[in-house]
Amino acid sequence: MGRLHKSISWSQNTEPESDKQQASPKNKQWESESTWAKISNTGFTLPETWSHNSSHHSFFLPVNYSANYEYPLLVWFHSNGFNEHQVEQVMPHISLRNYVSVGIRGTKAADSVGHRFDWHSGPAGIAKAQEAVIQAVDGATNRFSINPSRVILAGYREGGTMALRTALNDPDQYAGVVSLGGRMPSGSIRNLPQLRQRRMHMLWQWCEENPHYSNHNLKVDCQTSMAIGSRVEVRLYPGDDEMTTIALHDIDDWIMRHVVADSAVQDGHRWSSSPTLYSSN
């Protein structure tokens, strides 16, 4: 546990964080056997939350879930070498109250026993990931009270890149996308007019010592985002791992300011539902 360093935001002023502490777990520290001990150490307890695994999806409900409120849905893409249960480990540090969330499984097995998965960037893997998101959103909206205009994609490292790729392929279905340490996907953009009209909200979180972070790479990714007209906020953190309590908390802050407060997504036919008695929020 070290002293917090303030993050650097390219689109807003930051306040000193010298009176806080951060936890900066590495990839290996997010193993399931130590999850609850780590959450307990941060002061979180989860007696009123609920998680469930179904068809390679892991759902996570907020504390005091209410069927009378339409929640934003956060779809989580894990990093390579992990699985859909990573969502259960990150959500307590993002928010215990604000979202229904669902973790989806990577498209390529990384071990022989089916515990670890990677994101395959070939055409078949991309198509499979997109289908997994559709199934996860359908499953969440069928079971829980979800606002279909507030579906946010988020991911860590390779999962962040896949989240960006999924959002770019079908921008009208998603209210925003977050990438922790994952670069913009490479390749040609086929739906440029649609993306420019949509002007999707994006949050990129980078650590200075991430091997994929450099001024050149950031310049290339920013040029891509400018070409498609997206609205990007870039936050830079010290260290070599974006999976910190500060970075995760910043996701909630960004979603509340840019997605929940100003959602430009209209209810699409894919996830539309019949009228209910839920409030419009």
Domains in the chain, CATH or no CATH each: 2-13+20-260 (3.40.50.1820)
**Which mean pLDDT values do the consecutive 10-residue runs of the chain (281 residues) have?**
37 38 39 33 40 72 95 97 95 97 94 89 92 96 96 97 96 97 88 94 97 95 95 96 96 94 52 41 41
CB 247 within 8 A of CB 7: yes
What pLDDT was estimated at residue 190? 86
Tell me the C-alpha to C-alpha distance, in Å, between residue 39 and each of 35, 47, 228: 6, 12, 39
What pLDDT was estimated at residue 121? 87
CA–CA dist 96, 64 (Å, integer): 9
What pLDDT was estimated at residue 186? 84
CB 191 within 8 A of CB 166: no
Element (H, E) at 12: none
What pLDDT was estimated at residue 135? 95
CB neighbours of residue 52 within 10 Å: 12
What pLDDT was estimated at residue 114? 80
What pLDDT was estimated at residue 112? 83
What pLDDT was estimated at residue 185? 93
What pLDDT was estimated at residue 52? 54
Element (H, E) at 27: none
What pLDDT was estimated at residue 56? 85
CA–CA dist 145, 6 (Å, integer): 36
What pLDDT was estimated at residue 21? 41
CB 175 within 8 A of CB 70: no
